[in-house]
Structure 1
Amino acid sequence: MRKYKHITPDQTTVTQGSPLSHHIPSMKSLIAFDATARLGSMTAAAEEERTTQPTISQRIRTLEENIGLPLFDRQGSRLTLTFQGDRFYREVAPHLKEIRKAFEQIVHDGKRPSPSIVIAAGSGFTHLWLLPRLPALKQAFPDLSFKLMPIDRADDPELQAADIAIRFGPHVPQDEGRLLASEAVFPVCSPSYAHEHNLSETFTEASLSDTLLLHQDIKDPRWLDWTQWLQCAGLSLTTQDDVFLYHNYALLLNATLAGQGIALGWSILVEDYLTTGQLISLEPRVKRENYGYWLSVKHHRSALIKPVSDWLIGAVHQ
């Protein structure tokens, strides 16, 4: 049991004439008092707090002046708490312990790496839709980190291993993926190119004679090329001698933005450019039944990932 000495008002060494201050004591003063009360020595408290004995003494003196009562009996060879000091210690010490615990916990949490979520999708979708929305995604989930993986092959093992996989193609009955966006494909070009070639709102066979169709080097049957699109739209393709194949969709779209010709646009990939007026769309729109972007998640991490997948689906329909 801690020993303390009861000091009556006429024995106090602190002036009682001034009114009691209502200011909250400094944390340094409280820590100095707590350490001295626990260790029974200002010298020991100074060693624990990595400071000097006079500094600890001054902080305790300031605390006593703030309170208006002595907290230690300094008349013996060893410091002992006064009656008021002991009561104050028993009330303050648990709270200081909780403050230390909270501080240590937040420092520990700050050093812990954020859970990482891998989102895999085709390169066109990754660069044209996901990447522009990454800042908003991070803002919505500040405790998570995200890694985007552009993967174009449907059978790529990394696509299957990703936390969130977004694949393009027809609906697969055994796949539990959720529809992110249906397919809608139509010609797009820059406003200047449309004006230069007198293109109206509808793309016709007559439009083919005076325009350059921009092609992508597609070796994937999931995607429509110009020949397939024209067939779906009920139009015939005239032979074009000047054909340049672009390696990926982002390059193809950059050429379209630069006014070099007409490209096929997938609605979800070009919607931002249509909204800003950098591109214009031409009718008709080709839609294949059950084709679109499908989102699937890892089931063993679904509690962490499902809110993110819900956010992605919601962002498509904003």
Structure 2
Amino acid sequence: MSYTPPSMKSLIAFEATARLGSMTAAADEERSTQPTISQRIRSLEENLGLPLFDRQGGRLVLTVQGERFHREVAPSLKTIREACERLVHHGKRPSPSVVIAAGSGFTHLWLLPQLPALKRAFPELTFKLMPIDRADDPELQAADIAIRFGPYVPKEEGRLVASEAVFPVCSPDYAHEHGVKEALTASDLPRLALLHQDIKDPRWLDWAQWCQHAGLSLTPGEDVFAYQNYALLLNAALRHQGVALGWSILVEDYLASGQLIALSPRVTREDYGYWLSVKHHRSTVIEPICDWLINAVQQ
């Protein structure tokens, strides 16, 4: 015949009574009643087929078998209790939060779409994304992980996330309507709507600087509308309103889906790109996230 082990409640009642020397004290600890504790101990004794307490003389004393049984089960019950307490305590703690700061374009166009996968990779953490465009913004320096755009700065010990590659992009409909070929020439530019971003930051190429690097001459346009951020500018290109400058890492999904097409020439600047730096070096929490972000870009 198979043996049916006693219930956990009866084992807990026995251990508490043996440790405290009283069923009443055990009932208080377990937030139960003395009759309930007594009934559970009797059930345990019936299961084991022997008495665990000597009840003669009005005193509650462990039998020899009871003392041995208590020595054997008490450590295991203590281990189970402590494991449960640790788990409950951990569940009540807020998840550690990691702040990732980057330019608004990178945040909205690359980081935000990657956020669900990042959360699946690190389910024990919460993430806060901060779009910050100024390289000298104190919040960028204070972030756990900062991804800035610009030239390499040795003192910041940054890791390269993605090199700079800039080329014109537009929607297939706009290219068809305006007869845009894959390679733009200087004669193409005056007849196209060149979408501008209103930035006063020397790190970023505008159309004039891009043309200079591409070896094309550009006649300044008289009717220019400047967009306040890169996401808005790119949205205008998606809506067939003109040609925008595209940074490869920010437009790759739109190119892959066919919503935008890439034009040439392609401009790169040595040592320019997206650089990742951390506030706390060699952090066992932060370093795996940095590796994940860089691998996600490379894939």
1:179 aligns with 2:160: yes
Distance change (3 Å), C-alpha of 1:61 and 1:206: farther
SS in 2 for 1:149: strand
The equivalent position to 2:202 in structure 1, one of 212, 221, 229, is: 221
1:47 aligns with 2:28: yes
1:64 aligns with 2:27: no
Long gaps (5+) in structure 1: 1-18
RMSD across aligned C-alpha pairs, in angstroms?
2.0
Partners in 2 of 1:200 and 1:223 — Cα distance? 25
Long gaps (5+) in structure 2: none
The equivalent position to 1:107 in structure 2, one of 73, 88, 95, is: 88
Query: Relative to structure 2, which stretch is displaced further, 122-131 or 54-63?
Result: 54-63
Q: Displacement of 1:265 after TM fit?
A: 0.5
Q: Displacement of 1:261 after TM fit?
A: 1.4
Do the aligned partners of 1:229 and 1:286 also contact (CA within 8 Å) in 2?
A: yes
Identity %: 77
Count, aligned residues = 299
SS in 1 for 2:95: coil
Q: TM-score w.r.t. structure 1 length? A: 0.87
Q: Displacement of 1:301 after TM fit?
A: 5.8
The equivalent position to 2:9 in structure 1, one of 21, 28, 35, is: 28
For 1:82-97, what aligned pairs fall within 5 Å after superposition? 82-97=63-78
The equivalent position to 1:195 in structure 2, one of 176, 193, 198, is: 176
AA paired with 1:60? I
Q: Displacement of 1:231 after TM fit?
A: 2.1
The equivalent position to 1:261 in structure 2, one of 236, 242, 250, is: 242
Q: TM-score w.r.t. structure 2 length? A: 0.92
The equivalent position to 2:127 in structure 1, one of 123, 143, 146, is: 146
Structure having the higher Rg: 1
The equivalent position to 2:254 in structure 1, one of 269, 273, 288, is: 273
SS in 1 for 2:179: coil
Q: Displacement of 1:28 after TM fit?
A: 1.2
1:250 aligns with 2:231: yes
Distance change (3 Å), C-alpha of 1:84 and 1:286: same
